[in-house]
Every structure is written in structure tokens, then in C-alpha cells.
Amino acid sequence: MKSQRPKTAEANFREAFERLKIGKPKVLPPDAQVSQNNVAKEAGCDPSALRKSRFPSLIAEIQNYVAAHGGEVPESERQKLLKQRQRSRAAREMVADCKNQRDAAAGLLVEAHAQIAILTRSLIDAEARIDALRPKDGTIQSSGSRPKSSPLGVDTIGPKKDKK
């Protein structure tokens, strides 16, 4: 029968490192970042136990992982709430701005309608004055009392009456 050998410290640290990488830690919260201290804590040890002099290859792997994935910091609930508030505030400001633009446009529209009404009334008044100046029978009056003769010398109105 084979006797079970206890896990080495390095094996415990490596398992803890893998759990942190996949986001499934057993000891730390699920949103814990990968770091040397957190690997040691996840392994159930004091952070000073994970030393570079004792585990140089593991420390190098952790540092390479942190350097490659350092920008991937998961957001906390507080950060998520702050971002949501900022988005909500931006949306409220945009709605208020749209309302202001709508109100300004409505004001311009009312002014335009008033100007149209004024111009329409002026046009109606001008047409009425023009109609008042036109003759009623539809003929055009000339300034002279007698029409001119035709080029042939014949009057177009009729024979001249002699005055005796």
C-alpha cells in the first residue's frame, strides 16, 4: 500500500495561484486580484512565507502573470454604482438639454406664426387698398376726353357732328 505524501508548500501555492487566475478562490473573495500576497493568503499561509529565495520560479510566474494581466482589474460594486450614477447623471443632463432645445424651438415657432399672421394681415390690407383704387366697371380710364384718330384719318368713334 502506498503512503500518501503531504502536499508541498509549493504545490499549495501553485493551486492557490491557479484558483485566483480562474477567479474561483476558496479563502479570498471571488473578485480578489492575483498578487504574491493574495496567493499566499489563498494557500492559507502568511504572505511572508512566499519568498523569492524559496520559490523563485513560482514568484517569476506570478510576476509575469500580474505584468501581463495587470490592467484587468475587476470593478468593485462601489465602482459599478459610481459609473451607473455617472451614466444616469449624463442621461438626465442630456434629457434636460433636449427639453431646453425643444422649448427654444417651440418659442421660435410661435414667433414665426405670429410674424406670418402679421404679414398675412398686411397683405390682405394692401389688396383691399388696391381693390379700392381700381374702377368698378372694369374699364381703364384715359386721361384725354376724345380718342385719337386712326392712322387713316378716320375717327373710330363715329361721324363728326357739325356745329351750326
Tell me what pLDDT residue 102 has: 97
- pLDDT of 18-66, one tens digit each? 998 888 888 888 878 888 999 999 998 898 888 889 989 999 998 998 8
Residues in the chain: 164
Amino acid, res. 30: P
The residue with greater pLDDT, 59 or 75, is 59
Residue 151 sits at the vertex; the CA angle it makes with 145 and 154, to the nearest 5 degrees, is 65
Residue with cell 480562474: 22
How is the chain split into domains, by residue range? 9-69, 82-133
pTM of the model as a whole: 0.43
pLDDT band (50, 70, 90) for residue 5: low
Closest CA to 64 of 34, 26, 22: 34
Average pLDDT of the residues of the chain: 83
